[in-house]
Structure 1
Amino acid sequence: MDDIVYENITVQYCFPENNASCRKEVRTGPAYIFLFIVLSCISVCTVFLNLLVIISISHFKQLHTPTNLIILSLAVADLIVGLIVMPGNIMQLIDSCWYLGKLVCIFFPLISSLSVFASVLSLVLIAVDRYIAVCDPLLYPSRVTVCKMSICIILGWSFCVMYCVIYMYFNDHLITTQLYSTCYGECLLLMKYSWLIFDFVLSFLIPFFVILILYGLIFKVARRQAKSVRAVCNSVSKEQEAKVPGSSETKAAKKLSLAIFVYLLCWIPFYLTSFSVETFSTSSIVWTFFGWLLFFNSSINPIIYAIFYQWFRVSVKLIMTCRIYDPSSSRFNLFHDGV
């Protein structure tokens, strides 16, 4: 199939040799070029920042704690978003054709859903971890260990994989003969309205209420602890305050709550808007905009760590100056002034 010219307008096709080929829309205007550059920079920054988090927690033994293991899990999910999901969506945004074949078309939405769902799971685990640390600080070291947390994370990722496979299967997206396409060179995921509601309940509503309840209890305990401290001493020094059971955990919970707030800010518009249509397609403008809002959450998480956590700032400095190649670098102290 050759390109056809209608009144000086050239109609191009994704695969000119195939009679069933889709029409090709290459968006090359100044606005799209600017958008391509911006989104590409976001993708690169997402990969770079989350790699810093992964290297930091993996390399420095001082960071091998249950809480940091969850942050590591979150960073891995966010890395997948920046490394695979964002570039794939940028490619579809600039060029309407899908050149990677049906097999990749099957797995790309699967990986995208897995990374997003794993991020939600990590945020729930963070809330549970902080709840135990604040409400039962004396027993926390024995109840939550690195080994137990590792098992929880592995089981959580396994559940995410199973759920995403089931979700894609019931949306007729795991069998090449059932892939929805109007022409050759198209890769779409049509989400059935019933499954969109089920996904909303499982991947947003339930985690939202779990996180909301746990953080509500955390801050209730934090206020009670603050009143107890003020009753004992009118002015408590930083050194004394750090020794109060649960005080450091309470501070950590407040910092991590910002990540939860950003998560809600990115997710709520996506689901509220998606309920306005009966069949939700990944090619729609609505999905593109709010889908990128979800992806952008993966870029913000490591920035939150950079702002609030000294260990991350110190570890980044050590990584960027190549001091991690020192044989003893894994045992460096990252908490010179406390966290």
Structure 2
Amino acid sequence: MSITTYQHNMTVQYCFPEDNSSCIKEVRTGTGNIFLFTLLSFISVCTVFLNLLVIISISHFKQLHTPTNLLILSLAVADLLVGLIAMPVNIMGLIDNCWYFGNIACVAVLVINNVTTVASLCSLTFIAVDRYIAVNDPLSYSIKITVSKTSVFIVSGWFSSLLYILIFLYFNDDLLPSLIMIRCHGECVMYVKYPWMTVDLIVTFVTPCSIMFILYSLIFNVARHQAIAVRSVINSTFNRQLTKVPFTSETKAAKTLGIVVCVYLACWIPFYLSSLFVENMSSFSLLWTVFGWLIYISSSMNPLIYAIFYPWFRASVKYILTCRIFQSSSSRLNMFQKHF
């Protein structure tokens, strides 16, 4: 949760008026703040709505029950939790900096926020592996990558994310002071010390992003060689010169998901670069707030990318919005009949 401190446009009072030892409430007022809260609330609603469309589409239509789409479903669930929990809690912290729901709820929110982040990276890494196998070894792809195996990887990714966050938040008190420090009643703030910023940078950013970068580089290198081979065959067969060979469906999917990864990284890089130069960052700092919302916005971007590049998603959305998914046998509709 991100909480920002301003020195103007605020009314000072206690979070709990009956408790003088509680935190000082900082209420943000003014037209600019109201516009900001309205805009962020709109982004939160759109994030929930768009990712719900992705989840319903893949869950309802049987033709979309593929390993790759299951990974997209996992990513959409993480993005949905961001819009449903992380964004509203963050907006509450911007309106006033008080936490009214107790320490247990505070810890739960911090865990959920961080688990969804790490789970998103796991899903993106699995997607890169899935696309690499599909493009590099298409003949044995259906044997190596199945729905059941993918489901196991998804569950393992979420469990590993939860385990890492629990260790990150609780089990390193011998090495560092507690990462959750409640200075006064009504505060829910996570303090991250510089050594753990470095650890988190390596575990949740450098490692998975390096894997994704390497795999997508290999994917497009393979695609380039395949295009050259196809062009050579066509030229020798029809005795004509072609300058461009259409991408295969697998390569198109890899290209689309590569864009998802690039957008995700573009939203994350500012936060991690800033963490390298800040020795002690708390979740109420202005820097954390700005870069935190940049990260949140990436959860809204993914469904928009699907809508632009995936015809099956546009088709499924039409069925959902017109309520035709409630018709009998709608789950067996062919989402690809007009495509490819």
Instruction: Indicate whether 1:329 and 2:335 are aligned.
Output: no
| Aligned 8 A contact 1:22 1:186 in 2 | yes
Alignment match, 2:149 = 148
Distance 1:170 1:195 in 2: 12
| Aligned 8 A contact 1:171 1:191 in 2 | no
Q: Secondary structure at the match of 1:184?
A: coil
> How far off its partner does 1:251 sit?
1.2
Distance 2:252 2:182 in 1: 51
Alignment match, 1:256 = 257
Instruction: Indicate whether 1:301 and 2:302 are aligned.
Output: yes
| Aligned 8 A contact 2:312 2:335 in 1 | yes
In structure 1, give the amino acid aligned to 2:263: V
Note closer, same or farther for the CA distance 1:178–1:156 as it changes in structure 2 (3 Å cut): closer
Alignment match, 2:339 = 338
In structure 2, give the amino acid aligned to 1:159: S
Distance 1:167 1:331 in 2: 44
Distance 2:53 2:255 in 1: 23
In structure 2, give the amino acid aligned to 1:275: L
Distance 1:298 1:222 in 2: 28
Aligned-pair identity in percent equals 59
In structure 2, give the amino acid aligned to 1:337: K
Distance 2:11 2:266 in 1: 42
Alpha-carbon deviations, 1:53-111, whole Å to 9, x = none?
A: 00000000000000000000000000000000000000001111111111111111110
Alignment match, 1:111 = 112
Alignment match, 2:140 = 139
Distance 1:198 1:331 in 2: 47
Distance 1:123 1:11 in 2: 44
Pairing of 1:183-222 with structure 2 (within 5 A): 183-222=184-223
Distance 1:116 1:11 in 2: 33
In structure 2, give the amino acid aligned to 1:23: I
Q: Secondary structure at the match of 1:19?
A: coil
In structure 1, give the amino acid aligned to 2:51: N
Q: Secondary structure at the match of 1:25?
A: strand
> How far off its partner does 1:155 sit?
0.8
In structure 2, give the amino acid aligned to 1:64: H
> How far off its partner does 1:128 sit?
0.2
Note closer, same or farther for the CA distance 1:178–1:288 as it changes in structure 2 (3 Å cut): closer
| Aligned 8 A contact 1:50 1:75 in 2 | yes
Q: Secondary structure at the match of 1:26?
A: strand
> How far off its partner does 1:136 sit?
0.1
Alignment match, 1:32 = 33
Q: Report runs of 4+ in structure 1 exceeding 3 Å deviation.
A: none
The two structures have a TM-score, normalised by structure 1, of 0.91
List alignment gaps of at least 5 residues for structure 2: 1-9
Note closer, same or farther for the CA distance 1:170–1:196 as it changes in structure 2 (3 Å cut): farther
Q: Secondary structure at the match of 1:138?
A: helix
| Aligned 8 A contact 2:12 2:25 in 1 | yes
> How far off its partner does 1:170 sit?
4.3
Which stretch of structure 1 is more off in the superposition, 221-230 or 21-30? 21-30
> How far off its partner does 1:275 sit?
2.0
Pairing of 1:1-339 with structure 2 (within 5 A): 11-170=12-171, 179-234=180-235, 247-339=248-340
| Aligned 8 A contact 1:135 1:218 in 2 | yes
Q: CA RMSD for the aligned pairs?
A: 1.7
Q: Secondary structure at the match of 2:308?
A: helix
In structure 1, give the amino acid aligned to 2:84: L
Which stretch of structure 1 is more off in the superposition, 69-78 or 189-198? 189-198
List alignment gaps of at least 5 residues for structure 1: 1-8
| Aligned 8 A contact 2:11 2:27 in 1 | no
Q: Secondary structure at the match of 1:139?
A: helix
Alignment match, 2:7 = none
Note closer, same or farther for the CA distance 1:10–1:163 as it changes in structure 2 (3 Å cut): closer
| Aligned 8 A contact 1:171 1:192 in 2 | no
Distance 1:334 1:300 in 2: 22
